[in-house]
């Protein structure tokens, strides 16, 4: 027995099949799209620290990933027997099929979204926080675009799965492709020819719409992009349009309060007390370097200043005004205003990988609406990139830059908000030795311009050359607070300074 090829090819001119294709496309696309949105909400709920959100969501996902879709379809279609008022909607096979697919797909999409959200590094959120971008802004501008790009291949695969699962809706008499084929071969008994045609129709749908989604994936594939450095002529043209952005220099007057005052600061992680009653004052325009062995509390100290870490007790006063208090009600408006005056540069750069160097610098200013218009924001960002020697790389993405270049972009991004104080968390520790100098030079230029800088560093020569004061921390305490000159000329009468010289590897 051979296949009836004439009949097989005739099925591709049959209107009923093409109408069935339209039903499959609409049903699959709606189910996938609605499931994508609901799945994201479910993923956020599941990751929430609030158990009233997390646990019901976990149960929902567990249940609908466990129950076969066919069971859900039959149950939903027959639900009007329990809820007669739902018959007007659920009695329609298309709507019952859509509801069944959506509630099932939302559970699968939630796990896909969750994997994407978990893949976005914590440092990305911290960088957004350091730029004083709110929670929703961080999600919208930083986290979701990255998570979506990471999850997109899995989402495309899920779309293909939904197209194939739509064939199960034939069980509730929706005239999609499989049901149309079944009706035909029950009349003419040409089963193989009919099912082969149905398979070809499904392959065509998957190929066409899968290709569209794969095109979208390629468009969002940032690592595959390779913009070149701008030429000297292009850089010269951009310099003509760049708008200078002044750095907030210190204007010290007698009787002015310190730029930053830390009082009795205490911070613990469980039973481990990291900061123990820390007191520190930093004057306007002062450059303070914090040194000490690993685990001494250096990074934790500066992270409390912009609320990346919550303090247990104590107080941080900013320019003579209340800013952060441990164990007390926080004036959120005052805290947000204070955070705008403090910038931070991270050890691991934390540039936003889905944005160019120029967009990284422009982001916070655009979010806070500080530039009068987009063109002014762009010209100021170009000025800052030129200032750190990276104008030629303005259109490159972070993965196309060296470590030293990325750190200089991070400094430019911080400067874009014109902060009064900049915190540096070991800005050179993640760099190759030959790249350290280019970053340190930018920091030295800022110090010469009168910026208030707090630098956690292991670069001892740099700390001595650029700092007004050097603080050494050990075991959560400030052991030494002295000028570079005092450290360099320490003698046996000041054993604590000799300890600093020993830590620096200097001859005692």
Phi and psi based region of residue 289 (left: phi greater than 0; alpha: psi -120 to 50; beta: remaining): beta
3-state secondary structure of 174: coil
Cα(30)–Cα(22) distance, rounded to whole angstroms? 12
Give the integer Cα–Cα distance in Å for 57 and 374.
41
In a domain, 488, yes or no: yes
Answer whether residue 267 is part of any domain.
no
Which region among 91-105, 155-169, 433-447 has the lowest average model confidence (pLDDT)? Answer: 433-447
pLDDT band at 249 (very low <50, low <70, confident <90, very high): low
Residue 41: pLDDT band (50, 70, 90) is: very high
pLDDT at 490 over 90: no
Rounded to whole angstroms, what are the CA distances from 374 to 367, 378, 379, 443? Answer: 11, 6, 9, 28
Does one domain contain both 346 and 475? yes
Q: Is residue 411 part of a domain?
A: yes
pTM: 0.87
HEC readout, 285-338: CCEEEEECCCCCCHHHHHHHHCCCCCCCEEEEEECCEEEEECCCCCCHHHHHHH
Residues 215, 110: one domain? yes
- Parent domain of 438: 284-306+330-504
**Three-class DSSP category at 55:** helix
Average pLDDT over residues 390-398: 91
* Bridge-based pairing state of the strands 342-345 and 260-269: unpaired
Are 297 and 204 within one domain? no
Residues 296 and 198 in one domain: no
Considering the domain architecture, whether residues 20 and 142 belong to the same structural domain is answered as yes
Mean pLDDT over 145-160 rounds to 92
- Domain with residue 471: its CATH number is 3.40.50.300
Among the listed residues 191, 183, 8, 168, the one whose alpha carbon sits nearest the alpha carbon of residue 72: 168
Residue 90, domain member (yes or no): yes
Q: Percent of the chain, pLDDT > 90?
A: 46
3-state secondary structure 81-131: HCCHHHHHHHCCHHHHHHHHHHHHHHHHHHHHHHHHHHHCCHHHHHHHHHC
186 plus 296 within the same structural domain: no
Domain count, the chain: 2
Is 139 within the bounds of a domain? yes
Q: Assess whether pLDDT exceeds 80 at residue 412.
A: yes
pLDDT band at 479; cut points 50, 70, 90? confident
Beta strands 313-318; 421-425: pairing state: unpaired
Would you say residue 148 lies in a domain? Answer: yes
102-106, 318-322, 355-359, 502-506: the lowest-pLDDT one: 502-506
């Amino acid at each position: 027995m051979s296949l009836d090829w004439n009949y097989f090819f005739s099925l591709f001119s049959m209107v009923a099949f093409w109408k069935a294709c339209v039903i499959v496309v609409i049903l699959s696309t709606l189910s996938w799209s609605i499931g994508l949105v609901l799945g994201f909400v479910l993923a956020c709920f599941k990751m929430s620290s609030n158990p009233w959100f997390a646990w019901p969501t976990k149960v929902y996902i567990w249940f609908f990933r466990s129950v076969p879709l066919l069971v859900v379809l039959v149950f939903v279609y027959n639900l009007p027997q329990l809820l007669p008022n739902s018959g007007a909607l659920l009695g329609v096979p298309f709507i019952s099929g859509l509801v069944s697919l959506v509630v099932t797909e939302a559970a699968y999409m939630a796990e896909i979204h969750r994997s994407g959200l978990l893949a976005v590094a914590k440092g990305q959120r911290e960088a957004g926080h350091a730029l004083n971008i709110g929670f929703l802004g961080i999600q919208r501008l930083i986290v979701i675009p990255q998570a979506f790009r990471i999850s997109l291949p899995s989402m495309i695969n899920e779309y293909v799965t939904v197209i194939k699962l739509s064939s199960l809706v034939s069980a509730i008499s929706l005239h999609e492709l499989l049901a149309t084929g079944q009706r035909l071969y029950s009349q003419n008994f040409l089963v193989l020819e009919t099912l082969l045609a149905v398979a070809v129709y499904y392959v065509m749908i998957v190929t066409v719409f899968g290709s569209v989604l794969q095109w979208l994936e390629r468009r969002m594939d940032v690592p595959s992009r390779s913009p070149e450095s701008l030429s000297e002529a292009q850089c010269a043209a951009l310099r003509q349009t760049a708008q200078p952005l002044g750095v907030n220099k210190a204007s010290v007057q007698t009787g002015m309060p310190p730029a930053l005052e830390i009082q009795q600061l205490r911070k613990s992680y469980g039973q481990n007390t990291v900061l123990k009653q820390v007191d520190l004052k930093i004057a306007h325009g002062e450059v303070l370097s914090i040194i000490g062995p690993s685990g001494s509390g250096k990074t934790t100290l500066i992270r409390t200043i912009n609320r990346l870490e919550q303090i247990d007790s104590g107080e941080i006063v900013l320019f003579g005004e209340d800013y952060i208090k441990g164990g007390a009600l926080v004036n959120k408006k005052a805290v947000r205003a204070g955070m705008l005056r403090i910038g931070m540069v991270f050890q691991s750069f934390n540039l936003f990988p889905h944005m160019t160097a120029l967009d990284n610098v422009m982001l916070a200013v655009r979010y806070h609406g500080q530039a009068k218009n987009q063109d002014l924001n762009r010209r100021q960002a170009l000025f800052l990139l030129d200032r750190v020697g990276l104008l030629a790389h303005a259109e490159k993405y972070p993965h196309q830059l060296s470590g030293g270049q990325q750190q200089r972009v991070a400094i430019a991004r911080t400067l874009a908000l014109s902060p009064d104080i900049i915190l540096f968390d070991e800005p050179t520790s993640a760099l190759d030795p030959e790249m350290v100098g280019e970053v340190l030079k930018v920091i030295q230029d800022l110090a010469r311009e009168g910026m208030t800088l707090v630098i956690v560093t292991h670069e001892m020569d740099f700390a001595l050359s650029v700092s007004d004061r050097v603080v050494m921390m050990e075991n959560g305490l400030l052991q030494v607070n002295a000028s570079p000159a005092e450290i360099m000329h320490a003698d046996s009468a000041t054993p604590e300074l000799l300890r600093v010289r020993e830590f620096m590897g200097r001859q005692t």
